[in-house]
Amino acid sequence: MYTLVFYLWMKTFFYTLPFALGILLALVIRPLVELLQRKFKLSPTMACMLSTGICLAVLFSVIGLVALYAVRELTALFEQLSQGGFEKWSKPIADLLNRIPESLQQLDPQYLERNKEEILDLLRSGMDLFTGILGAVFQVLTSLPTIVTMLIVTLFTTFFIARDLHRLTDFFRQLFSDRTRSYAKNALKSSNGKGQKYLLCSLLMYLITFCEATVILVILGLPYPLTTGFITATADILPVLGPGLVFGPMALYRLICGDLAQSVGLLVGWAILSVIRQIIEPKLIAGAIKIHPLAMLASIYFSLVSKSLWILLYMVGFFTLHASLREAGALPELLPGRDEEETPHASA
């Protein structure tokens, strides 16, 4: 059932996206709607209109500010590259760049002839990737009317869903028998929203990583802190490498460039990110679903092999659903007795 639902969602993603966003936003603003109705005695329609306006204004303001700052950073980066690179090249880096033409001239012609097809395939793949990126950017820029329409549909969907949420809930309840509703209610009660808690806690941890990485980069005086912080938060999805996938190469690069202080600062920042994550993760994820790191690594590997982000989303959702059903008691433990071995006895 999960696979079928996911497949249908994937095939209809762009058709159902504004409605899905509207439903999510309606659920988010529902407490605010009830607060306005209770405190200020507003009608449901007026409370939904104010709540929707406030939510979308805050959301678009945050997205606009972040996007503006990110565009400025990327523009500055491209301008610097177009002017001949960075002005702070150290002597080792400059010598390495100067040796590249000499190294190319010393290549064995027979080696190039033997591996001509592999080299051409590599260059062709690089050009295909670059062309695909440009095509995606051009498609986004030329589909602004569609994006505006999607935002309008999301706005109205949020309003109507928030206003009629109780009636819609009653309508869907009538579609199922009393026994089915009882099973669903018990399953939701036993799971206690663990999947939702896990998702929210994970997003909060990535947001904390983004803020910490950005502050560290600003303190060290490194360029493009917002963009690099976003990349660091994205890399934090990896359960083993995490922020080190970004901070490690940056520290090595600054060391090669001769800036020992910034290199050490990046390593210290990496350690700070790791320590803070180890401290806050048990408190945030306590009581929520815990997915084994090997499952996350498998999801990432399958996604890379298939070259599809959908595989990653499918696998993460699959493991989350399995963990939720296991926590609810609907499925047995994969490794019976593992929790008892990891948790000390009360008498101890």
- The string of DSSP codes covering 84-95 is TS-TT--HHHHH
Which pTM does this prediction carry? Answer: 0.59
| Single-letter residue type at 209 | T
Q: Which pLDDT value is given to residue 341?
A: 47
Among 129, 111, 132, which Cα is nearest to 121's?
A: 129
Q: Is 229 helix (H, G, I), strand (E, B) or coil?
A: helix
pLDDT by 10s per residue, the chain, length 348: 899 999 998 999 888 988 988 888 888 898 899 889 898 888 888 989 999 889 888 888 887 787 777 777 667 766 665 565 544 545 555 566 566 666 655 655 665 566 656 666 665 655 565 565 556 655 655 566 777 788 888 889 999 998 888 888 888 888 877 777 776 666 566 555 555 666 677 778 888 888 999 999 999 988 888 888 888 888 887 655 678 888 988 888 888 777 888 889 999 999 998 888 878 776 665 555 566 777 777 877 887 777 777 888 898 788 877 876 776 666 777 666 554 444 444 334
Q: What are the residues whose beta carbons fall under 8 Å from the beta carbon of 192, sequence distance 6 or more?
A: 287
Helix 309-327 vs helix 178-191: crossing angle, to nearest 10: 100
Nearest to 213 by CA among 172, 255, 174, 247: 247
Phi/psi region, residue 301 (left: phi>0; alpha: psi -120 to 50; beta: rest), is alpha
- Give the pLDDT confidence score for residue 265 in this predicted structure: 92
* Residue 159 to residue 18: CA distance in whole angstroms: 12
- CA–CA dist 204, 39 (Å, integer): 30
Ranges of beta strands (E only) in 270-334 are none
**Cα diameter, the chain:** 84
pLDDT of residue 225: 85
- 3-state secondary structure at position 239: coil
Predicted pLDDT at 207: 87
Instruction: Report d(CA 317, CA 202) in Å as an integer.
Output: 13
Cβ atoms within 10 Å, residue 291: 19
Burial tier of 345 (Cβ tally within 10 Å: 0-12, 13-18, 19+): exposed
Q: What is the pLDDT of residue 249?
A: 86
Both structure tokens of 68: 């503006």
Q: Tell which residue, 230, 239, 246, has the closest CA to residue 278.
A: 239
Whole-number pLDDT of residue 202: 74
DSSP string, 295-306: HHHHHHHHHHHH
pLDDT at 4: 94
Question: What's the number of CA atoms in the CB half-sphere (13 Å) around residue 344?
Answer: 3
CA dihedral 6, 10, 12, 14 (to 10 degrees): 130
> What pLDDT shows up at residue 347?
38
- In angstroms, the CA 1 to CA 147 distance is 31
